Amino acid sequence: MNTTDFGQLGFLRVAAVSPQITIGDVAANTATICQQLSMLANDGVAIGVFPELCLTGYSAEDLFFSESLLQGVRQSLTTLCHQSPLPLLAVGAPWRLADGRLINAAVLIGAGRILGMVPKTYLPNYGEFYDQRWFSSGFGINETEVSQDLGTFHVRADQLFQLGDLRVGVEICEDLWAPISPGTQAALAGARVLLNLSASNELISKAEYRRDLVRMTSASNLCAYVYAGAGALESSKDIVFGGHCLIAEAGVILAEGERFSLQSQMIYADLDSERLAHDRGQNKTFSQSPRPTPYRIVSAGPGLPSLTSLCREFSQHPFVPDDEDEVAARAQEVLSIQATGLARRMQAAGTEKLVIGLSGGLDSTLAVLVARDALEKLELPGENLCALTLPGPGTSGATLANAKALADALEISLQVIPIDAAVTQHLDDLSHTGDHDVVYENAQARERTQILFNHANQIGGIVTGTGDLSELALGWCTFNADHMANYNVNASVPKTMIAYLVRWYAQHRSSAALSKVLGAVLETPISPELIPPDADQISQLTEDLVGPYELHDFFLYHFLRNGSGAKRIFSLACLAFGEQYPAQTIKHWLGQFFQRFMTQQFKRTTLPPGPKVGSVSLSPRGDWRMPDEAGYKHILEEIENLL
């Protein structure tokens, strides 16, 4: 039985609701909201967001001046304080201040009381909007409300509401459209989640603009954004409302509701608060931005509520898009980055020739495709790509055949230089015992690298590296052998993505002959081929030794991209791979990942240059700087205690 509390791992469930409303009937609207609050609570929602002026209807117009309407709002808020089961509820209501000004407010309710009111700052008074007829702007408002029925609370825009260590900011509709929005100020003051209570009407193309605005606001502010729009039961006298609800996180739309429904609409999403905190700490543009005057912080509860399940999915292959169209676009982009980087490196080195070791495996296959693209970019002939295949004691007939067929299909020359005699001589010089140990394996890898570099000197070229990001993370490369090159085009491409790139190339950019060869490469087991084959079959399978690359790429992504700890990575991996790998297997390989990652930094410290293609890279000159001697036993102890 899964007893993971995802709330302790930084997740919380939020909802945006567009309820059925009756314009001007506060009691009826309150009853509708209370019914929906029960549903939200049953579904584990921590924060519920309702639209702008939802207690009265946004389109109540001059009814906002009605004394009975305003008194009804007070009674409604009393009811919601008593009945709301959510840690944090945001509803929209008109509110009259003690000095007589009427404001359009977001009312934040939690722990049985009003926590505070946030007034709308930017009041549209153009086109179809006449907000300034009824309301005063929130600019400069800083009032303390004291009453017997609703207690004491503050009315001001510069306040945040805190659940545990999570701070929540609020803005209302037009505020989002401002050049420097109150939400951005709240984010800079510490809000990781922004709520928007809105009543944005529908026009041609406005939904797309609104969606992009919400998405990009969440991206630029490194936050989550929960947007609840007024629904179709608002007045349609001159404009129509659609009830648009959106939830975004760091530039990605997590949930979006149906527009134009005459029924209540409700959307959920589980926000990753821990990931947002990590991104803000890492992004120095955000951290260096000027902060506003300190905000008032209002406690809404001691911590994030318990969450025993997640309603968001985690891809097994986070480096690879799920959508096929996006895979195609991503593949072209990655290949262009790799080829452009290599072409520029050739210009800098003053060479027109490339040397590459072609093993017949996946990594060198992608590298040779990139190398050919680089030559085309420089308008150089394919004969300037000098491929060498260097069969040794561990080489199987299948991979040697792959290398030869690949060279034929690409119409490039291929030199076959066996290394058996050179390796034997070297091992004899060392008085090696003949065991298939690390010396035996590494001697082959270093002999190949020596030949590649010396041949590059011979023809005035540079060596194109082939090792991938996954191998670098695990240290699955021989120091000063396949670890080294003049320029490594695969340095930040993980193994799972390399397979997708080669498959895409076979489907979209290959002749029939090349496509057939690439298919054979994709079917070849991953192996360093440093142990003699068994009856000409590969006897050394990488994934049997270090674990499935799809697991390691998952671990790597969440560790580097999101800063996740071992317990969190394990829990997410169990969600993603639960039907494919037992929890004990995931735990085992997670321990192997951290042990290898932490002990192999010395190889990454001396990496050759290579192009960064995604958000994760291990370049010691860029994304990842780590001491070679970092401790890691505490991580392994945490993993040992997971089950």
Contacts of 281 (CB under 8 A, 6+ apart): 287, 563
Q: Return the pLDDT at 211.
A: 98
- Residue 269's CB is within 10 A of a number of other CB atoms, namely 22
Q: Are residues 405 and 511 in the same domain?
A: yes
| 155 residue type, one letter | V
Q: Are residues 331 and 276 in the same domain?
A: no
Catalytic option among 52, 234, 274, 447: 52
Q: Return the pLDDT at 501.
A: 95
Q: Are residues 280 and 170 in the same domain?
A: yes
| Structural domain includes residue 112 | yes
Q: Are residues 116 and 160 in the same domain?
A: yes
| Structural domain includes residue 598 | no
Beta pairing class for 88-96 and 354-357: unpaired
Q: Are residues 273 and 340 in the same domain?
A: no
Told to judge if 313 belongs to the known catalytic residues of this protein, a careful annotator would answer: no
Catalytic option among 54, 81, 120, 574: 120
**Tens digit of each residue's pLDDT (9 = 90 or more) over 79-115:** 999 999 999 999 999 999 999 999 999 999 999 999 9
Q: Return the pLDDT at 1.
A: 41
| Structural domain includes residue 23 | yes
| Residues of the chain above pLDDT 90, percent | 88
Q: Inform me whether the pLDDT recorded for 144 exceeds 70.
A: yes
Q: Are residues 200 and 337 in the same domain?
A: no
Q: Inform me whether the pLDDT recorded for 443 exceeds 50.
A: yes
Reported as a pLDDT band with limits 50, 70 and 90, residue 435 is confident
Q: Are residues 286 and 343 in the same domain?
A: no
| Structural domain includes residue 556 | no
Compute φ and ψ for 225, nearest 5 degrees.
-135, 125
Count: domains in the chain: 2
| Structural domain includes residue 126 | yes
Q: Are residues 421 and 483 in the same domain?
A: yes
Q: Are residues 297 and 359 in the same domain?
A: no
Residue 457 forms beta bridges with which residues?
none
> What are the tokens at 195?
């709520």
Asked which of 301, 336, 369 is the last residue of a domain, the reply is 301
Q: What is the DSSP string of 252-295?
A: EEEEEPPSS-SS-EEEEEEEEHHHHHHHHHH-HHHHHSPPPSPP
Q: Return the pLDDT at 541.
A: 78
Q: Are residues 297 and 334 in the same domain?
A: no
Distance (Å, whole) CA 277 – CA 167: 11
Q: Are residues 112 and 252 in the same domain?
A: yes
Told to judge if 52 belongs to the known catalytic residues of this protein, a careful annotator would answer: yes
Q: Are residues 297 and 328 in the same domain?
A: no
**Tens digit of each residue's pLDDT (9 = 90 or more) over 519-566:** 999 998 887 766 777 767 766 678 888 999 999 999 999 999 999 999
**Tens digit of each residue's pLDDT (9 = 90 or more) over 329-377:** 899 999 999 999 999 999 999 999 999 999 989 999 999 999 999 999 9
| Structural domain includes residue 641 | no
Catalytic option among 173, 386, 477, 574: 173
CATH number at residue 156: 3.60.110.10
Q: Return the pLDDT at 539.
A: 61
- Of residues 398 and 516, more confidence is placed in 516
Tell me the residue range of the domain where 249 lies: 11-301
Please give the model's pTM, rounded to 2 decimal places.
Answer: 0.93
Q: What is the SS3 assignment for 164?
A: coil
* 61-78 mean pLDDT: 97
| Structural domain includes residue 570 | no
* 142-147 mean pLDDT: 95
Told to judge if 404 belongs to the known catalytic residues of this protein, a careful annotator would answer: no
| Structural domain includes residue 597 | no
Residue 226 forms beta bridges with which residues?
195, 247
| Residue carrying structure tokens 């997670």 | 590
CATH number at residue 375: 3.40.50.620
> How does the average pLDDT of the chain come out, rounded?
94
